[in-house]
Amino acid sequence: MTIQAFLKVEKMSVGYGATTVLDDLDLGIGKGEFVALLGSSGCGKTTLLRTIAGFAKPNAGSIRVAGRDVTHMAPDKRGMALVFQSYALWPHMTVAQNIGYGLKLQKRSREEIDARIKEMQDLLGLSGLGSRKPGQLSGGQRQRVALGRALAIDPEILLLDEPLSNLDARIRLTVRHEIRSLQKRLGITAIHVTHDREEAMVMADRIVIMNAGRIEQQGSPEAVYNMPASPFVAAFMGAENILSMQARVSGEQIELHEGAFNASTVTARNGRDLRSGPVELRFRAEAARLTSNSATAAVEPGALELRGQVTSVSYPGGHWRHAVRLGVDEILVDSDNPFGQGEIVKISVPATALFIFNASSEGTAH
């Protein structure tokens, strides 16, 4: 955790009854940084966000903002705004009144409030809806009102609990870029909880991947995508193809032993913390290359070469997706061109796209 962190979470433990949700967790976030807490349901990301906001109480640890201890402060004293996944709008107020509610509490002028409300409505696609009540809006519209209410007060720290989950796909793509643009322009420190990998990748400066109440890995979107530190992270970042092999580690080289569906391959160690023995290989469907069995192209140095049989072909859009059987295993491989069901094919996985871990524990990939 960097000592220059604007927001510091130190030795944080949170539990409900006998259940520990977060245990001895440290996290530092720089001023103006956009951090995504990424993970599946139950990993602790929302509990962490709510603890930072003041809506959940820690059993141990501290939260500091610009050196100020806010651990036991009321939520409205922390300089933060939280966008709830469940909207939390005032049902008797109009859209405009909900968006301007925090500004009214701050005793802003009527002119300033009206201008800010209009800005938020234009930004979030709510123009013309200012006089409606939440009950007259769609779920996506209500979530945008909640987002507008949080942004309107220009908080130092913006906390987002899956705020885009109720928007349709087209609006979600637009709004996430608008949120990111506004966050950068205003210099707001933002923490965004999501289970959507692409959302985290396009919005965040740094991604914090959580698993079972702890931080599994954190880093730039490029780092966690290209250098997953564990099989869990690799799978969560899309490398869902998995194969088991035997490997011999010698100096800076890894030899993947020949198997029923692959030739022996020697690839660079590249700093991986690996030992000889059984290994787990992971790679993404789009990273592998598919060719016919008769193709004679030269093997790329360090690439894993496989041979299997196509069992099904589908077209999800933009490419053809092939299920390829390798004995008892089945992998998915994308290609610009379709191959026939039952066809014997070659699969090449470049060294840079191949994530290798010790099978008995979560080792470190490149």
pLDDT bracket for residue 269 (50, 70, 90): confident
Within-domain flag for 2: no
Same domain (yes/no): 214, 319? no
**Whole-number Å distance between alpha carbons of 144 and 147:** 5
Would you place residue 360 in the very low, low, confident or very high pLDDT band (cuts 50, 70, 90)? low
Output the pLDDT for position 105: 87
Query: Does pLDDT of 364 surpass 60?
Result: no
pLDDT band with cut points at 50, 70 and 90 for residue 363: very low
Indicate whether 174 belongs to any domain: yes
The answer to whether residue 222 sits within a structural domain is yes
Please say if the pLDDT value at position 341 is more than 90: yes
Number of domains comprising the chain: 2
Residue 364: inside a domain, yes or no? no
Evaluate if residue 43 carries a pLDDT over 80.
Answer: yes
Q: Please say if the pLDDT value at position 62 is more than 50.
A: yes
Q: Does any domain span residue 329?
A: yes
Residues 80 and 215 placed together within one structural domain of the fold: yes
Percent of the chain with pLDDT over 70: 97
- In the predicted model, is pLDDT for residue 128 greater than 90? yes
Domain boundary among 193, 228, 263: 228
**Same domain as 160, residue 122:** yes
18 and 119 in a single domain? The answer is: yes
pTM of the model: 0.86
Please tell me whether residues 255 and 282 are part of one structural domain.
Answer: yes
Same domain, 238 and 282: yes
Nearest to 248 by CA among 228, 273, 266: 266
Q: Is residue 366 part of a domain?
A: no
Same domain for 178 and 265?
no
The verdict on 49 and 130 lying in the same domain is: yes
Q: What are phi and psi of 303, to 5 degrees?
A: -75, 150
Per-residue model confidence (pLDDT) at position 73 = 94
Same domain, 109 and 203: yes
pLDDT digits (tens, 9 = 90+) for 207-216: 999 999 999 9
Q: How confident is the model at residue 362 (pLDDT cuts 50, 70, 90)?
A: very low
The answer on 215 and 141 residing in a single domain is yes
- For residue 302, give every residue at least 6 positions away whose Cβ sits within 8 Å of its Cβ, in sequence order, or none: 265, 266, 267, 268, 350, 351
Last residue of a domain, one of 199, 228, 257: 228
Q: Are residues 189 and 240 in the same domain?
A: no
The answer as to whether 35 is a domain residue is: yes
**For residue 118, what is the domain's CATH number?**
3.40.50.300
Q: Which domain holds residue 198?
A: 7-228
Q: Is residue 48, in this structure, part of any structural domain at all?
A: yes
> Residue 236 sits in a domain of what CATH number?
2.40.50.140
The reply to whether 168 and 53 lie within a common domain is yes
Please write down the HEC assignment for all residues of the chain.
CCCCCCEEEEEEEEEECCEEEEEEEEEEECCCCEEEEECCCCCCHHHHHHHHHCCCCCCEEEEEECCEECCCCCHHHCCEEEECCCCCCCCCCCHHHHHCHHHHHCCCCHHHHHHHHHHHHHHCCCCCCCCCCHHHCCHHHHHHHHHHHHHHCCCCEEEEECCCCCCCHHHHHHHHHHHHHHHHHHCCEEEEEECCHHHHHHHCCEEEEEECCEEEEEECHHHHHHCCCCHHHHHHCCCCEEEEEEEEEECCEEEECCECCECCEEEECCCCECCCEEEEEEECCCCCEEEECCCCCCCCCCCEEEEEEEEEEECCCCCEEEEEEECCEEEEEEECCCCCCCCEEEEEECHHHCEEEECCCCCECC
